Structure 1
Amino acid sequence: MDAALLAATCDARPGDRVIEAGCGVGGALPGPPRRPPRTPVLGPGSGPARPGERVIEAGCGVGGALLGAASRRPDTRFVGLERDPAAATLARGNVALNGLEARVEIIEGDVEAGFRALDLPLFDAAISNPPFFDDPGALRAPAAEKSGAWMADGGLAAWTVFCLKAVREGGTVTLIHRADRLGDILTLLAPKAGSFRIRPIAPFADAPAKRVIVRAIKTGKAPLVLLPPLVLHEREGAGHTVRAEAILRGETGLGWS
């Protein structure tokens, strides 16, 4: 779900170039390539289309968010970055299955090695679902094949630094993470970025947010904006709210207003 929500916030215009860092192999599904069961969707563009720009997802796993975004932006080119060879292979298969080889490329690389190691041009945006933990003592050790999605060896800082270095001035960095790390995210991004917009994600209308989605603009100077939360469920045991269901089905974007 985090990947779908992250893709639904992306301010990509047709032709934009975006990078997502952080979903690791957590989204990897065993077996042959497949289409995503729910299609994440890019949100409304923030300006006129600029053909020729590109999108890159770093830590793309098997490509669920990447493919959902690409399917809704036919004029945009995408690159998926994944450090796990098995997940990258599945992602390539999913790209082929969805007929997107002309616009979507999967490359192998490690976010923690730094953006410059990729020898790629700057992007218009970076989106990231970083591993949620950087303290091995904070949780029971995950299965080896999922450790990259849960544990960040270089800490959250490695992911924010990567995203900031990946985008041009005026480009956007968007992260989805635990709500209790919001202060850390703002602190890590603030030296190089601003114009923060924050969307809390709450399980219920009367419950604290469990996730936050943070968007920042590199070199941005506008005041921080705290947006209304996205509420996922009406009540315990109920299905998704109408808005959450529409986002997860790819019928609408999350937006930044």
Structure 2
Amino acid sequence: AAAALARENAGLNGAEARTTIVNGDVARGFRALGLPPFDWAISNPPFFDDPAALRAPAEGKLGAWMADDGLTAWAGFLLKAVREGGRIVIIHRADRLADILSLLSPKAGSFAIRPIQPYADQPAKRVVVQAIKTGKAPLRLLPPLILHDRAGAKHSPQAEAILRGEAGLGF
């Protein structure tokens, strides 16, 4: 279902000619796909790998929320999916930041972390982590992305610019 949705999205955005959608299983590893490593791997892994830590989501969201194979399998997959010097970008829960860094750091570095806060006066709920395979630069903690302000607009100006493709995450 996710692959079909991705194909539909590529079609709606006129990107079919430069998009390849491949079904795979993170537990089997990247090599099972028979693909060469990439320059970039971007992932939004399921946020939970412990059924006791989460009330069961709606049936249709279970696969997106609950990982059969935990964050360890996802990190291993991503590390194999990129060439040396390639970038890995993950968005995940802020409380799993230490796990993400620990799992990627044996083979990646040059971390850049952008906290994602719902409002400026609330703690980050998510983080976007960029790592470079074999990178050696010091870790950079970037300013947070604030999603909403209390002025009534749906998104903060910075978030709105990112959503409209007028700005990037600033890695």
- TM above 0.5, one fold? yes
Determine which of 120, 132, 137 is the counterpart of 1:217: 132
1:94 aligns with 2:6: no
Match of 2:24 in 1: 109
Q: Distance in 1 between matches of 2:29 and 2:56?
A: 25
Match of 1:138 in 2: 53
Match of 1:161 in 2: 76
Q: Distance in 2 between matches of 1:233 and 1:217?
A: 30
Determine which of 141, 158, 163 is the counterpart of 1:243: 158
Per-residue CA distance 1:147-174 (angstroms, 9 max, x = gap): 1110111111111110001100011111
Could you tell me whether the CA contact under 8 Å between 2:115 and 2:142 is conserved in 1?
A: yes
Q: Map 1:51-200 onto structure 2 (within 5 A).
A: 86-200=1-115
Q: Which amino acid aligns with 2:39?
A: D
Q: Distance in 1 between matches of 2:56 and 2:66?
A: 9
Moved over 3 A (4+): none
Q: Distance in 2 between matches of 1:151 and 1:111?
A: 13
Q: Distance in 1 between matches of 2:24 and 2:39?
A: 19
TM-score by length of 1: 0.63
Give, in angstroms, the shift of residue 178 of structure 1.
Answer: 0.5
Q: Distance in 2 between matches of 1:217 and 1:136?
A: 31
Give, in angstroms, the shift of residue 143 of structure 1.
Answer: 2.9
Unaligned runs of at least 5 residues, structure 1: 1-85
More helix by share: 2
Determine which of 124, 128, 141 is the counterpart of 1:226: 141
Match of 1:57 in 2: none
CA shift in 2, pair 1:184/1:168, >3 Å: same
Per-residue CA distance 1:195-253 (angstroms, 9 max, x = gap): 11110111111211111111111111111111111111112865211111111122221
CA shift in 2, pair 1:168/1:204, >3 Å: same
Match of 1:19 in 2: none
Give, in angstroms, the shift of residue 139 of structure 1.
Answer: 1.1
The SS at the match of 1:92 is: helix
Match of 1:208 in 2: 123
Q: Distance in 2 between matches of 1:236 and 1:157?
A: 40
Q: Distance in 1 between matches of 2:159 and 2:71?
A: 27
Q: Which structure has the higher relative contact order (CA within 8 Å, separation 6+)?
A: 1
CA shift in 2, pair 1:227/1:97, >3 Å: closer
Residues matched between the structures, number: 171
Unaligned runs of at least 5 residues, structure 2: none
Give, in angstroms, the shift of residue 254 of structure 1.
Answer: 1.4
